Structure 1
Amino acid sequence: MRKVFTTTRIQLIISMMVSVLIPTILINLFYYQQLNKSTRTQLLSYQKEIVQQSADDVQSLVDQINVTTRQLIAMSVSSDMYKNYNEKTPSEKLSTVKSLQRMMQSIVFSVSYHAGTYYIGTDNSIFSNLNTLNADRLLHRIGEEENGVPFDADYYSNVVSVRVIPFLTDIQNYNRYNALQTIGIDLQYSDLENIFAEKYNPGEMEFFIINDANKLIYYLSDSDYQWEQTIGKEVSGAQYSYLSNFDSREKEQIYNYISGPGWNVYAYIHLDALTADFSAQNRSLALILLITLFFAVIFSCFVSKSITRPINDLITKMKKIGEADKSTPAVVTRNRDIMVLSYTFDDMLVQIDKLNQITIEKEKEKTSMQLRALQAQINPHFLYNTLEDIRSIALEYGVISISEMTKALAKIFRYCISKENIVTVREEINHIKNYAQIQHYRYGDRLSIMYYVDDAIMNCRIVKFILQPMIENAISHGIEPKRGKGVITIIGSKKQREIEFRIIDNGMGMTSEQIERINEDLTDKREPSKGIGLINVDMRLKLHYGEKYGIIVESHLGEGTQVTVRMPYTEEVLDDKSSDIR
């Protein structure tokens, strides 16, 4: 996959634009959300006020009809003009009718919502405030009318029917002379429509009036249901389900009850439609984002240039120095970090020159040391050959002790000058035995060294000169100051994937303070005051095998000392990491 490279300036421009745009977008979105929420709440409150006002207007309309009805009842009860109405002559009846019409006209004169007002007598005689009322048609529809339910009345005109809502009230027979039985007031259906139509916003709300008998009185809706065909009839199951089951996240229902006719007014406000037209706010938000983007680009380009220009100058300087041109001037800028980088680069060049000089001197010194080393290789062989000559002379004169010591010393010397840094356990033990043989000539019966090394580890590869310094320390600091016979025990064993050597002596031992000081010396890698070579062995073990390996010193004053050496079990040849120790 091909890598896509970019520049610091582009990265700075992008980062600064993002750092500016993201907060701006978040702030604008938060503002837009809060504004949307606030506007939606205000619009919903306004719509609720509209619905409540519409319900109040309908209730006021019904209350006025009830007031008019009570006035007409009071007039009919208190008046004597209807007494013995059937016994009157035609002229007297006509006079009574005209008097009744004048009284009714005077009452309903100022009421504009009445389609008509009428009395129905016990003999089916009709008294109305309208001279054009068709009494025969009215009497024919008397049985079809239902109080508070709209229907199309054909008794007001010979041409078209008029949709009205009748309000019928029966008059009690207070005495046998009362000729009236029913008062009827027809509400013009258009007046009910006008109340809601002037406040109706298509798509935002719906109005429904349903009476207690579940019959549809009025509707104002743009839904697909056949509401017009249901006027005055019982609401169907599907229509009732539409009214009853609504999602509160999409609609809010407002309910009012109109006392008197028992009307239930339902208003449904479509919440999504309230905030559907936010085009002006959207344009303002888009304009703010565009302006922010424009200034963010300009600002980012300006700032990035002021940052990247000295960086480019510094890169140009590095390239020239790479071409061996060291005469380039220093980078000048007001950016403190860039100036520090430039000064640091100049200091680095000075240090590089110094290191180059040191390297040249070391190469010269290395060449000289290699020559001296080649020359010094002659000396060990000369000393080894000299020891062999001494041994031969000792044998010739029968001095066996000198011969054996010289032989052991020659083996030790050969072991020391060998170039191998990794040896077997067997070779290390043999080296210790040669060293012990020489010490026996010195200490005699005062020193005894015992070996308990498992055969399973004799061919394992270990670092050279690990055990001999432990034996030397045991003799020098433990056995030699002690009175009586000294015993050194060497125990070698395998534990899982590790080799463990324990060198135990019955020498003088050490106090807890001395042990603590030795352990501190080992931790700080300082040569301890007692136990010369301990730090050397511990460091070489850690260099070869890792920090988890090394030596542990334990001792009790007057009882002796135990040194434990741990290293990994391996029969393979290890990398010579200490080739300089020879």
Structure 2
Amino acid sequence: MKKIIGSGLRSIFQFCTRKIVIKLILLFTSIIFLVIGVLTIISYKMLEKESRNSILEASTNNLKLVNKSVRKYFDEISQFTAPQYRYDPIMNALRNESNDHSSMAYLEDYLRVLFYSRTDVEAIYLYLINEEKVYSLSRDDVAVKSTYNASIPSQYWFGQAVKDKKNRYIQPLLLSRDTGYSQLGEESFFVFHRVLRNLVDRNPRAILSVVLNSSYRDEMIKDSPLTEGAELLLLDANLVPYYGNSQKALNHLNDMAFRDRLNDLQEGHFTWSDGSEKYMVIVDVEEQAGWRMIKLIPFDEIYKAARMNRDLSYSIGAVILSISILLNMLTANAITKPIKLLANKMRRFSEGAFDVEVKVRGSDEIAYLSNQFNLMAMRTSKLINEKYHMKLVQNNAILKALEAEINPHFLYNALQAISTKALKSGENEIRKMVDALALTLRYCIRGKEFVLLREEIQHIENYMLIQKARFGKRLHIAYDLDESLYEVKILRLTLQSLVENSVKHAVEKITSPVTIVISAHSNDRHTIIRVTDNGPGMKRERLMQVRGSLREKWEERQQENESIGLKNVNTRLQILYGEEYGIEINSDESGTDTCMIIPRAGGEPNV
């Protein structure tokens, strides 16, 4: 193993000393590393000291500011709970509360005034000592309630408040929320107990307990921002905690050594370790009431900026050594960037964007490849446009052919009807039929591709005049149309084909009277025009054949198909509007129902 390691080291030494350029690189690299290393260590130590002093000064000032705010806040609450000018009316109400309803009402009003005068009041309790009676008012129940509670004098805070010279006691709720009253919420901060005494005999008559939430406390704490891992404590003069930003901060108070350090140090800072982490502990003591603001900052967080600067300095050396690698990367990128751009354009081309074009720079092989790609894209786009134009011309030709097939079939039936009528009636009837035929022929040969539904209905009237001459009372027609739909544009001669289909397959098949009903309605997307007859209908097999023929492409149709008229209309609609539209047909022994589905507003096609 030693031989392998020795052989490897010799190979490295020989490689490093083989060329003078490598020797120079190693020499300059060693000097750079030495300079950067020494400067980094010096700056790191200086930044450590600077960071510590800066954080100590800023935190000390912040704690003093917060401590002043805390004292001011408790003074406000003390002033807030003092009866002041209401002392005599309150004492009078307390004496007469048990037998005077107005005294009871006065106490309730007094509690309400206190409750609604501050937003941080969570609940108020007034304990009448002799009567063992409690008046209460809280956010959960804004009505003043009265109950009896004989356990209040046994509470610790009761004894502390009664014996206090200032007739008050501030009860913290951080470690225990037991007040003898109802259960307090999680947002409660402390309870301020105020003893109301009789001035004559100095005996306590009642205790006013005000529960304050943490809203004001949170605003005060904002003046002492905490970095990551920092902890904050608010203690009274006896080191009783009123606030701790974490359980870890409160756990420090369980260590007697930590408490001794706090008692020994009235103000300033000291270093403390809990075994897992080392802290700088900053203490500020309020002069009058002895409130203590304590901030514990991990040294890891204090020296974080110094470590970042040290790491940055080390990184600079690595960057300097990496410059040569970076130059190679830039050179490679200059070569591959045009190829990546060309590949991206080719990907867009494969996705259907045939109008892409690559910007050509220079005259090298990549530029030549880009020119050839641009030429290919231009030719492909030209071919696709030509193909699309040919498809439009083809579809238009199919539409014209479909329209042309309707007229001869209808003309044949019309002439047959006129011939039949000529044999049965006089010249006046023939004149009417000829007029109707003239109007019909003029409507068929007019150049407009789209007509209003109203115009198509008028054409149907002329058509039915001729057919009634043929079938007499066997043929009836009815309409169920919304007047607003008369202005919808439809393809010319489409509705007439549906009516003609009912005449051919209903009226001609039976001798009993047949009624053809034309109706129309619209929904959010479609206008549906329906032609219904009460003829003999179609058998299921025939209905399936007709539906199958509607699904066939026009080029695949059978020339002898009896449903050529419906197929014609269906194909025209689908070419013009899309496969969502067209003809639907249903039929049974009660008759046949044929629907023509077009866009809601009708109109020009979506080519």
- TM-score range relative to shorter protein: 0.3 to 0.5
User: When the two structures are superposed, what TM-score results if normalisation uses the length of structure 1?
Assistant: 0.39
TM-score by length of 2: 0.38
Larger radius of gyration, structure 1 or 2?
1
